[in-house]
Structure 1
Amino acid sequence: MEFRHLGRSGLVISEISYGNWLTHGSQVEEETATSCVRAALDAGITTFDTADVYAGTRAEEVLGRALKGERREDLEIFTKVFWPAQPSPGRNNRGLSRKHIMESIDGSLRRLGTDYVDLYQAHRFDHSTPLEETMSAFADLVHAGKAHYIGVSEWTADQIRRGWALARELNVPLVSSQPQYSALWRVIEAEVVPTCEELGIGQIVWSPIAQGVLTGKYLPGQEAPAGSRATDDKGGAGMVSRWLRDDVLTRVQQLRPLAEEAGLTMAQLAVAWVLQNPNVSSAIIGASRPEQVAENVAAAGVRLEAELMARIDEILDPVVERDPSHTGKQAPPANWRVAS
């Protein structure tokens, strides 16, 4: 494993982090989830990302139990707040109001079995709450020792800039952005990345293998493999469906000889590709089996030659999404996973 600073902060994290968005508490049994976390630890991963909304709080609970007994100071544990973590008739159970943030952090800490999180992230931008209120609440959590740093997820460049300015006034470190990013989904490159480079904010990117499409397991003109994310009726299928077009799948298959030339699997090539961006501090991987962790972690420290990067661009260019206006628009809906 190799490590990088999170933006220009002093926090050092593993350049591959482990996330449990679609797996813990839902797709896999807890014994398997724990085995995946153990595999991540054995591979040198120290950074773990989750959210209260994942599997209706169960993902945080499973991760907390899986990490129990580990030396807390040796880990970086990240979680998020925005959506209702569980079904509720309450009108204040979502968003980034002071009330919701203060109540959500206590629930997350209890489920994770820790006194603090290293990074607390705004899971989306809240258009219905004054940004000053949101940032003030986050600042109070940092000053109270419940979070060491704060971050955002799927915010636009303008939203990031406004949040960073307020955080600076409040003397708290807004250090990260967590967007979707892969060789197929590059909407952050035009605006978010340059803004974050200027402000000293690092990217913690999710879905670097495009929900599994960049592994090459989905073939043009064929049914999705049984047991794959495309057949998961609990949420996975909805996210991956936009890539299951023959034009996309055909071009992804053309990456296979490039991966072989580089001595990498398709998944490793995809993870290594996002890590070539110097503004990326870490790439989040997930797993439903421990062996998937071992495969993806092998992308750590891989440096792709400029010629190979150019060939990847040439192959994928016609099917790549680059429009910065799509930032946050391909995210899960507001009730994501709550009912699972």
Structure 2
Amino acid sequence: MNFRHLGRSGLIVSQLAYGNWLTQSSSRSEETELACVRAALDAGITTFDTADVYADTRAEESLGRALKGERREGLEVLTKVFAPTGPGHNDLGLSRKHIRESIDNSLRRLGMDYVDVYQAHRFDPSTPLEETMTALADVVHSGKAHYIGVCEWTADQIRRGHALARELKVSLVSNQPQYSALWRVPEVEVMPACEELGIGQIVWSPLAQGVLTGKYLPGEQWPEGSRATDSNDGSEVLTPWLTDEVLGRVQQLRPIAADLGLSLAQLSLAWVLRHPGVSTAVLGASRPEQITDNAKALGVTLDAEVLGAIDAALGPVVSRDAAATAQSSPTDPAWRLA
């Protein structure tokens, strides 16, 4: 396993992280989750990403059980707060009340005394940013998290949050955006702002929900048991990629990968990890062998000719609209009352 600093912080993370959103949000068994975590540990992965909302809070419990008995100091465990975890009007968002209650509930479910990074899962326009950042700072000052991070915030939101964090003497060290060879939205505004501020990227969906593995072929039925056929497995996130134009372009990457002795998944992960702002890429898995195979992308160097060939192959299907980041969070300050 290779390791990098998380931004300009002192925290070191594995270049590949294991995330259990899809593993635990699907109908897969607890045994599958345990096997995937074990495969991650065997591959040298030390960074584990989850969230309180995944699988209706069950994902944190499952990850905690899977990591039980591991040396806590040798792991970097990340979780998130924002999305609804109960029926009440204060069971969501980034209010002081929700943050303070959510960190205690997350630690209970994980069976841990602290998390390494506590992340604001989206931006909350219904709560003053000062309230949110003060509450997150209190989580750090109380010893329940070492660092704070954000997920899918815009460049402006990150700048404002970072400035407040400095005033409160806590480290906002990470941003977690969607990022892949097909989804390059963060490159436009978010990554440059984070580079300036010393914030590292913990990227999710580096394989574009599995599309960049090449298993979905244009004009053919989706493979049985794949994410595209499982309504409990985040298939709605995958749907926009499942067009003949996108899938056809992805198939043009095959000879590029073959010339390098790589699978499409390994090529796509190497493409993400070549960015100096990326500290770690979060991998999901439906089978433990996927983690073992994907770890072979580590240490692969893609030269300018290969990068140019990837750009030419994907061409017009690459997403670069910076406005897409803002669209991932609520925009109406009254959204929690709706």
* Aligned partner of residue 183 in structure 1, secondary structure: coil
Matches within 5 A, 1:108-257: 108-257=106-255
Structure-2 separation of matches of 1:143 and 1:13: 22
Matches within 5 A, 1:1-340: 1-24=1-24, 26-86=26-86, 88=87, 90-329=88-327
- CA drift of 1:85 comes to 1.9
The root-mean-square deviation of aligned C-alpha atoms, in Å, is 1.1
- Asked if 2 retains the 8 angstrom alpha-carbon contact of 1:24 and 1:63, the reply is no
- Asked if 1 retains the 8 angstrom alpha-carbon contact of 2:184 and 2:319, the reply is yes
- Asked if 2 retains the 8 angstrom alpha-carbon contact of 1:25 and 1:62, the reply is no
Instruction: Extract unaligned runs of 5+ from structure 2.
Output: 331-338
Count of residue pairs the alignment pairs up: 330
Structure-2 separation of matches of 1:317 and 1:103: 46
Structure-1 separation of matches of 2:233 and 2:125: 25
- Asked if 2 retains the 8 angstrom alpha-carbon contact of 1:27 and 1:288, the reply is no
Q: Do the aligned partners of residues 302 and 27 (structure 1) sit closer, same or farther apart at CA in structure 2, a change above 3 Å counting?
A: farther
- Asked if 2 retains the 8 angstrom alpha-carbon contact of 1:80 and 1:123, the reply is yes
Output the TM-score relative to the length of structure 2: 0.96
Q: Which amino acid aligns with 1:267?
A: A
Structure-2 separation of matches of 1:110 and 1:17: 22
Structure-2 separation of matches of 1:297 and 1:111: 28
Structure-1 separation of matches of 2:186 and 2:227: 24
- CA drift of 1:273 comes to 0.6
Structure-1 separation of matches of 2:248 and 2:6: 36
- CA drift of 1:298 comes to 1.0
Quote the sequence identity (%). Answer: 70
Q: Do the aligned partners of residues 42 and 164 (structure 1) sit closer, same or farther apart at CA in structure 2, a change above 3 Å counting?
A: same
Structure-2 separation of matches of 1:28 and 1:101: 29
Structure-1 separation of matches of 2:294 and 2:70: 23
Structure-1 separation of matches of 2:326 and 2:113: 30
Q: Which is worse superposed, 271-280 or 323-332? A: 323-332
Structure-2 separation of matches of 1:252 and 1:27: 28
Output the TM-score relative to the length of structure 1: 0.95
- CA drift of 1:100 comes to 0.1
* Aligned partner of residue 286 in structure 2, secondary structure: coil
Structure-1 separation of matches of 2:106 and 2:269: 29
Deviations 1:250-294 (A, max 9, x none): 010000010111111111111111001100000000111110010
* Aligned partner of residue 125 in structure 2, secondary structure: coil
Deviations 1:238-257 (A, max 9, x none): 11100011110001000001
- CA drift of 1:329 comes to 3.1
- Asked if 2 retains the 8 angstrom alpha-carbon contact of 1:272 and 1:303, the reply is yes
* Aligned partner of residue 18 in structure 1, secondary structure: strand
